[in-house]
Amino acid sequence: MPRSMSSRLKTLTARLSALRGWRADVAAMLGGAISAVALPPIFALPALLIGIPVLLCLIQGAPGPAVAARRGWWFGFGLHLVGLYWITEAILIEAARFWWLVPFAVPGLAAVLAVFIAVPAAVAWWAAGGWPAALTLAGAWVLGDLARQFVATGFPWNPLGSVWEFPGRLGDIMIQPASLIGVHGMTLATILLAATPVLDRAWRLGGLALLALWCGFGIIRLDQKTPPGPDLTILLIQGNVAQGQKWDQAMMVSIFRHYLALTRQAVAQANGHPAVVVWPETASPALLQTDAPARAAIADAAGGATALVGSVRFDAAGRPRNSLFALGATGLIEAIYDKWHLVPFGEYQPDWLPVGVQVVPGGGFAPGPGPRTLTIPGIPPVGALICYEAIFSHQVVDEADRPDWMINITNDAWFGNSSGPRQHLAAARLRTVEEGLPLLRAANTGISAAFDSKGHELGRIEMQTTGILPVHLPAPVLMPLYARVGLVLPAGAAVISLVTGLYSSWTRRRRFRANFCIS
């Protein structure tokens, strides 16, 4: 970069590194908040070129690992506070009961998730400045993201690897590396690229080379021929039923009839072509497990087509389950899938919560056994995902019994016309690239969409719109490397990055500690 620009950058980074006390904490929180605008649906990617360097400077300027952890926590708090603001929308749906949670819910969740950045920040403090610090932070950050996929049943929302999911062909190109390294591996590369403004010229050139390889791989993979799909049309139904009406006893019959009418319209559009009708998560107010007339009504409306319908059912112990029913031509239940990744506090009561605190009555829903491939007569084997399950990388299908496609039913009506449904859709899109399988998504109020096995969008129904989306089912592609190996790949890359950064620091720490950022 020009000498004057380099000089100004040195001055700025030196000032950041010299910040102390609350000023450093505020700078860290602002860095995290700025970084959040790089996430879907804004995709302001240059924000990371500010946020990550700010964090690196504050870490290396800290007098010890505890202070570095505190600054990392504030960065994570700002990142998640802005990235998850939309959760407040769910509380406002039942504001009469839970109004008191509004000031606490999002800040509380952001505070917990920030711990998974605080620990990497503390680890990165031990690295010498420059590229060793960037490698250490990136590796530790990804290990933290992997941990939050599993700790307390997991909440891996908004990984930084999702910032490349631009709409259109550019986004299609930039998400293809997920087929090799998954979203966590993309997060590792993203942090290293975002750190380049405060690294030396060789690393900036290396970053440009990485971007060139990234784009080249994406273009080549996208241009590879995909075999034609089966002779089957998937009819996605978006009923657009407001969350406040969904469980209103007085409206259940009219809601059920509304979905039946949309189903008849969808089947008419198929014009006799083999089809599958898909209703969103818990779309049926009737309990299909025991309500034979409701099943028969759906079968009649579907005109002999298989119907995949979201509904609640009760197990032998009397616990409710969030389920997907596959109904045959006569209304016979061909298969049932039970959601297994439940939302803490929304769908179940965590075991670690004090017994006297009952957030979810009766403990909530019971979980299913895990990913499962449904074998249904007349259609290719399908892997079912219900709502929240689509955010869990490499935990979405039964890898021992792989399906040919994925169906994702969801109800994002809780979150209004906010970033939440759009971030959820972005997560589902990445699963298609990781698994090499098409994914079709039926949402109650939107966004319903279809993606082919490379993450290319085939169509959508926008937010808060009633509609039908007919999609010719795409074919899967050859099983990607990431689907074969799984989380071991990004975890291994993160460990290598972390160890390399710390090892190289043994001989560099003293030289870089006083003057960090610009080599």
- Please state the length of the chain: 519
Between strands 233-238 and 275-278, the pairing is parallel
Instruction: Indicate the class that CATH gives domain 233-345+361-476.
Output: alpha beta
- Phi, psi dihedrals of residue 497, rounded to the nearest 5°: -60, -45
With 0-12 / 13-18 / 19 or more C-beta atoms within 10 angstroms meaning exposed / middle / buried, residue 253 is: exposed
How many CA atoms lie less than 13 Å away from 91 in the CB half-sphere?
Answer: 16
Parse the chain into domains and list their residue ranges. 3-223, 233-345+361-476
pLDDT for residue 345:
75
User: Looking at 339, 434, 435, 454, which residue is catalytic?
Assistant: 339
* Cα separation, 50 vs 195, whole angstroms: 9
Task: Single out the residue of 360, 317, 365, 374 nearest to residue 340, CA to CA.
Answer: 365
DSSP letter string, 338-360: E--SPPBTTTB--TTS-TT--SS
281 is catalytic: yes
Residue type, 27: A
DSSP letter string, 447-500: -EEEE-TTS-EEEEE-TT--EEEEEEPPPP-SPPHHHHHTTHHHHHHHHHHHHH
Write out the two tokens for 38: 């790089």
pLDDT for residue 350:
67
Q: What is the DSSP letter of 407?
A: E
With 0-12 / 13-18 / 19 or more C-beta atoms within 10 angstroms meaning exposed / middle / buried, residue 223 is: exposed
> What Å distances lie between residue 264 and 83, 303, 470, CA to CA?
39, 8, 13
* Cα separation, 425 vs 311, whole angstroms: 21
H helices present in 46-165, as ranges: 48-61, 65-83, 87-93, 95-98, 105-125, 131-148
10 is catalytic: no
pLDDT for residue 362:
58
With 0-12 / 13-18 / 19 or more C-beta atoms within 10 angstroms meaning exposed / middle / buried, residue 217 is: middle
User: Looking at 57, 165, 347, 387, which residue is catalytic?
Assistant: 387
How many CA atoms lie less than 13 Å away from 400 in the CB half-sphere?
Answer: 3
215 is catalytic: no
pLDDT for residue 360:
55
User: Looking at 165, 281, 347, 434, which residue is catalytic?
Assistant: 281
Task: Single out the residue of 323, 217, 334, 332 nearest to residue 279, CA to CA.
Answer: 323
With 0-12 / 13-18 / 19 or more C-beta atoms within 10 angstroms meaning exposed / middle / buried, residue 306 is: buried
* Cα separation, 510 vs 494, whole angstroms: 25
DSSP letter string, 257-269: HHHHHHHHHHHHH
* Cα separation, 114 vs 492, whole angstroms: 23
Per-residue pLDDT of the chain (519 residues; tens, 9 = 90+): 565 667 777 788 888 888 999 999 999 999 999 999 999 999 999 999 999 999 999 999 999 999 999 999 999 999 999 999 999 887 776 655 665 666 778 999 999 999 999 999 999 999 988 899 999 999 999 999 999 999 988 999 999 999 999 999 999 999 999 999 999 999 999 999 999 999 999 999 999 999 999 999 999 999 999 999 999 999 999 999 988 777 777 889 999 999 999 999 999 999 888 999 999 999 999 999 999 999 999 999 999 899 999 999 999 988 999 999 999 999 999 999 999 999 887 787 766 555 444 455 556 889 999 999 999 999 999 999 999 999 999 999 999 999 999 999 999 988 889 999 999 999 999 999 999 999 999 999 989 999 999 999 999 999 999 999 999 999 999 999 999 999 999 999 999 999 999 998 876 555 544 455 544
- Classified as helix, coil or strand, 442 is strand
* Cα separation, 427 vs 145, whole angstroms: 14
- Torsion, Cα 486 492 494 498, to 10 degrees, reads 170
CB 468 within 8 A of CB 450: no
CA end-to-end distance (rounded Å), the chain: 13
pLDDT for residue 357:
47
